[in-house]
Structure formats: C-alpha cells, structure tokens
Structure 1
Amino acid sequence: MSLSLTPAARDALQAWLSHLAALDGAARNTVTAYRTDVVGFLSFLAQHWGAAPGTAALAAITQADLRAWMAAERGRGVGARSLARALSSVRSFYRWLSDREGFDATVVLGARSPRFKRPLPRPLAEDAARAMIGMVEDQAREPWTAARDVAVLTLLWGCGLRISEALGLTGADAPLPPVLRILGKGGRERIVPVLPAARDAVAEYLRLCPHPAAHGAPLFRGVRGGALNARQVARAMELARMSLGLPATATPHALRHSFATHLLAAGGDLRSIQELLGHASLSTTQAYTAVDSTRLMEVYAAAHPRA
C-alpha cells in the first residue's frame, strides 16, 4: 500500500477491509470499491494536512476538512452520484474506526450527501426481450453455444438473476430444481422459483454441451471449456441489439430489470419482488413503480383520443 499513513492508521484501514470481507460478507468488488474511495479520501487528507494521517488526526477531523475534500473531488470532475458513494464509504470506515478507537465521529457520520437523481431502470418490453433471446440464438455459430446463450438470458429474464449469479451456477445445480438458492450481493441468500421455460432451456443446453456438467465445474462453459465470461454474454447481446435496433441500454442487467417490471405490471407486490431480486432495501425496488408509471403515461399520451 503506497498511501502515506502512520502504521496505526494503515493497520486500521486493513482491519476494516478485512472486517467488511469476513464479517459483513461484502463481495470482492464491493470491498475494492470501498478501499478505492477511502484511500482517495486519506490521500487527500495527507496532502491537505501536510503529514501522514494517523488515527488521532482522523478522530480530530473537522467539517472544514470534509468540505475541502468534497470541493476538491468536485473540482476534478467527480459527479454527485460518485461523490455520494465515496462519502458513504468514508462514513462506513469512520463508523467502524470510531467504535474501535472510542471517539465521536459525528462530523463525518452527519455529513450531508450530495443530491443526485437516481436513474430509472431501463427494462426491455416483453416483445423486445423475446426478440433479443431469439436473435442471440440465431447469431450463435454452433447449436450448443446458441442453446447456452438462450439458457443464460432466459435465467436473467425469467428468474431475475444477476449475470454473476447465473454464471456462478455449477454442475451441482443441474438439472435445475424448481427453486434455486442464490447467494447474492452482501452474502444475502434468497430463494428463486425457476420457470419451466428456464429449466427446459438449461436442459437443452446441457444436452448439446460438449463439456460434461461436473459437480464443481461451472455450469455455463466457454468454447474451450472454461467458465463462460460475462463479457461474452454482453457481447452477444450487443450484436443482437444492433440487429434489432434496440438501444444501448439493452444489456444483460436490463433483462433483470425486465423481470421486475413485468412482474409488477402483472400485479406482483413490491415486497415479493424485493425478495426475488435480493434487494437489501425496499426503496431500491420502488424504482420499478416509477418505471411502470412512466410507461403508463406514455401509452396514455400516445393512445388516448383527447391526448
């Protein structure tokens, strides 16, 4: 770690990151993002104070110090959303550090986050989702890779899985059961029903796949037999959306958005959709109500005779 810190502060930072990974169950990418945010903050303090920050100096931080950091971040072009995320990471570090060192962290914990408008999810319409899956199948070079890509996209749309969750399935999950136990973000476990269409799609892929579905091996394989990469799935969808004239938002994650939006349109309740998606907060799931309302108003404006 090249950051200039006192040994005590360096040990504290590493202990906090280990705590996130081991006790809070944070995913590796999440821990990396937290580390990047907090290291950036500490690097600013080292320059701002003209000395390597130690735990005593961190405990004595002032509102002026915090405002100077936020101003510097804005000055180098960091947007409100990214700055709010960085502040959240810093708060998490300070919450842990203040509990360990026994100081009052109100200055940091009470800091107001920059306001920003959260972008609405961009799902695919039902016919577009079906067309996407059909096009991905048609453009594949081999029957087994066509069946594989169809199976993956069907799981994203039919079960609301993240691409990492779908590609994390192993031979032990085959044949797919009526319900899957998925370990998602933050170590949160959820039970996801598997539609017959998804089970059939995976069964067809397994029938054609030249690589055996070994118990501990990845369920979805690349051409050479290794684990299928998420970038390969995204690339297949890129080619398909260009052929179909769909927007750049037609990504693997958009199929997960489509799962939630189509459930909501069919009368699903938010709490159930929250559980199926594995969202930690209901407020995250509530974004889909705004999507549904927006689409309803668009249909109304286009179709009503007096619009």
Structure 2
Amino acid sequence: MIQISAAAHHALETWLSHQKSLAGSAQNTLTAYHSDVLGFLAFMTEYKAEAQGLAALSKLSITDMRAWMARERSQDVSARSLARKLSAVKTFYRWLAAREGFEPTAVLATRSPKFQKKLPRPLDINAAKAMIDTVELQSQENWIALRDVAVVTLLYGCGLRISEALGLQGRDAPLPDVLRILGKGGKERIVPVIDAARDAVDTYLDACPYRQDADQPLFRGSRGGALSSRLIRKAMQQARMQLGLPATATPHAMRHSFATHLLAAGGDLRAIQELLGHASLSTTQAYTAVDTARLLDVYQKAHPKA
C-alpha cells in the first residue's frame, strides 16, 4: 500500500475532526471523505514518485488533476462516483488552503464529470399500502412482523430516512404528536406523527419481548440488539417480489412516496422541504419530481396578480 506523507496524513485527520465537530458531518459522510481523499493523496504520491508534503500538495496543476481523474475512470469508476470523490477533494482543499495560506485554483477549477441524476421512484398510494401490509407476512415471529410494519409505516407516514427511524430510542415511546429528528449534518427538524405510525409502533412495543429502556434502541433485532437496516431492506425485497414491484421499491422509496403523495394532494413545497430536512428547495423539487407544469399551476393559483 502506498504511504502518504506524515504531514498529509495529519492534515487529513485534522480536517476529518473539523468536519465532525464543527461541520456536523454524519459518520457515513466522514467514512466516504476519508476513503476518497486518502485515495487521491495516495495517487499523487505514486504519480509524482515521491511523498507529497503540504508544500507539494499546494502546487498541484490542472494536468495533475486530469491525470488523477483519468486513472479513476480507467478503473471503471462511474461518473457519479468520480463526481463525489472530486467534491470530497475540493472540500478538503478549501480547508487546507485556508489553513496553509495557498491558492487552490487548480483543484477547485477542475470540472466535475457530467452524469444523469437518478431520481428515486415513488410507489403509488395503493402500492405503498400494499407494501406495508405485505411486509408483515415476511416473518413467522409475530413481534418481528409487527416491528417491520412499524418501521416501514414510519418511513412512509413520517418521511423518515431508514437511519432516522432506526435511530429512535426507548425514550421516544410512546411516540408524541411530533418528533424531533436529528438528520443529515446534525440538522434538527420537527416531524408530525400520524396516528397510523403511532399505532403501529405501540402494537410492536406491546409484542416486543425486550424491555424498552430509555437509552436502548426502540427497534430491536431478534437477539435484542439494535435492528440492522439490512433486515428491513430484506423484508421489503421479499415483499416487493411477491407484489411484483420493481427493485426501486426500497426503504428510501417509501420516504420519496411520502413527499410525492403530499405534493400531489396539494401540500406546500416549502412545508415538505422542512418535513424532509432538505437544506435547499431545489433539492426538494428534484426529490419530489416537481415538473414545470405543476409549479406553473401553483403559481397561477397563488400569485396575487395571476
């Protein structure tokens, strides 16, 4: 394995600590950052045939950046993945340049490869309800079946990410009228809890064989530990095969369905943005597949001069 310089390694670790403590980056994001930037630094060490200290790293050229991107593409890294890697490198370099006092123009000016963004596909209302009903049939143990129903109902009924639903603890039960959810980047949002979600969780808790301590996970695995998202994905995979639904019928699709169905029923786009925890409205527009005609219709009906 190629060894990067001690200075570069220290800079990387310091930056990751900064991202965790000050930027509030999630652990999955930090893991991806570490892998992406470490790979970049290792390539530059190999490409330059010598350890790259901070002085050398501050002098990278457009040619160096193109060489790295060419290597990545030659190893069948997709345009989407390369764009993510480049974004991580740029974020690291912005921080490093401010810290060391150099101009990171070559790195920041590097163009990201173009790719077609894939939108998650929502289920229609009947399919979403059928998914919840069919998930219950995937386990022979009653309390596990009720557990899976409760999780999937939270995804669809409250628009939670799978990690957010599984992050709930015993102290969160019984579910209140609204939940305070700590989402991506440590951003907190308020999410109303519908009766169906509260009832599903209560039914699961009544059947669960494990005591619900305040600081223990709300959703338990068969042996009492924290429930793995893999098990929910597996249950949904089995259910969608029985229902003849596409492979896109995943836990994340239930969250997407929540937003899409709210919008179709006349929900306010800004309110949906808050419920989903998106930092920008443009993210919500893409996420809910808002088309121009829909936005124009809302505009025509709502604008005072229309």
Q: Distance in 1 between matches of 2:79 and 2:22?
A: 30
Q: Distance in 1 between matches of 2:286 and 2:9?
A: 39
Give the conservation status (yes or no) of the 8 Å contact 1:170–1:218. yes
Shift of 1:204: 1.0
Q: 1:172: which partner in 2?
A: 171
Cα 1:262/1:165, change in 2 over 3 Å? same
Cα 1:45/1:273, change in 2 over 3 Å? same
Shift of 1:288: 3.7
Q: 1:81: which partner in 2?
A: 80
2:140 paired with 1:141: yes
Shift of 1:272: 1.4
3-state DSSP class of the match of 2:90? helix
Q: Distance in 2 between matches of 1:3 and 1:263?
A: 51
Shift of 1:143: 2.1
Shift of 1:199: 0.7
Q: Distance in 2 between matches of 1:105 and 1:77?
A: 27
Shift of 1:211: 1.1
3-state DSSP class of the match of 2:246? coil
Q: TM-score, normalised by structure 2?
A: 0.92
Q: Distance in 2 between matches of 1:3 and 1:266?
A: 55
Which amino acid is the alignment partner of residue 116 of structure 2? K
- String of CA shifts for 1:267-294, please: whole Å, max 9, x gaps: 1222211111112232221114536679
Q: Distance in 2 between matches of 1:239 and 1:40?
A: 37
Q: Distance in 2 between matches of 1:184 and 1:37?
A: 23
Which amino acid is the alignment partner of residue 184 of structure 2? K
2:65 paired with 1:92: no
Which amino acid is the alignment partner of residue 22 of structure 1? S
Q: Distance in 2 between matches of 1:187 and 1:138?
A: 35
Which amino acid is the alignment partner of residue 179 of structure 2? L
Q: Distance in 1 between matches of 2:83 and 2:89?
A: 10
Q: Distance in 2 between matches of 1:142 and 1:291?
A: 41
Shift of 1:47: 1.2
- String of CA shifts for 1:209-259, please: whole Å, max 9, x gaps: 111111111111112211111111111111111111111111111101111
Moved more, 221-230 or 128-137: 221-230
3-state DSSP class of the match of 2:40? helix
Q: 1:210: which partner in 2?
A: 209
Q: Distance in 2 between matches of 1:8 and 1:289?
A: 44
Give the conservation status (yes or no) of the 8 Å contact 2:150–2:200. yes
Q: Distance in 2 between matches of 1:294 and 1:167?
A: 37
Shift of 1:8: 1.8
Which amino acid is the alignment partner of residue 218 of structure 2? L
Q: 1:160: which partner in 2?
A: 159
2:237 paired with 1:238: yes
Moved more, 70-79 or 172-181: 70-79
Q: TM-score, normalised by structure 1?
A: 0.92
Q: Distance in 2 between matches of 1:122 and 1:3?
A: 41
Shift of 1:139: 3.0
Q: 2:227: which partner in 1?
A: 228
Runs of 4+ more than 4 Å apart: 291-295
Q: Structure 2: state its 5+ residue gaps.
A: 295-306
Shift of 1:206: 1.1
Which amino acid is the alignment partner of residue 109 of structure 1? L
Q: Percent identity?
A: 65
Which amino acid is the alignment partner of residue 189 of structure 1? E
Give the conservation status (yes or no) of the 8 Å contact 2:72–2:82. yes
2:195 paired with 1:196: yes
User: RMSD across aligned C-alpha pairs, in angstroms?
Assistant: 1.6
- String of CA shifts for 1:161-214, please: whole Å, max 9, x gaps: 011110110110000000000011111111101011111111111111111111
Q: How many positions carry a matched residue from both structures?
A: 294
1:228-307 matches, within 5 Å, as: 228-290=227-289
3-state DSSP class of the match of 2:120? coil
Q: 2:112: which partner in 1?
A: 113
Q: Structure 1: state its 5+ residue gaps.
A: 296-307
Give the conservation status (yes or no) of the 8 Å contact 2:170–2:218. yes
Q: Distance in 2 between matches of 1:3 and 1:162?
A: 37
Q: 1:300: which partner in 2?
A: none
3-state DSSP class of the match of 1:180? strand
Cα 1:294/1:153, change in 2 over 3 Å? farther
Which amino acid is the alignment partner of residue 284 of structure 2? T
Cα 1:154/1:73, change in 2 over 3 Å? same
Cα 1:155/1:53, change in 2 over 3 Å? same
Give the conservation status (yes or no) of the 8 Å contact 1:175–1:203. yes
Q: Distance in 2 between matches of 1:9 and 1:139?
A: 50
Q: 1:103: which partner in 2?
A: 102
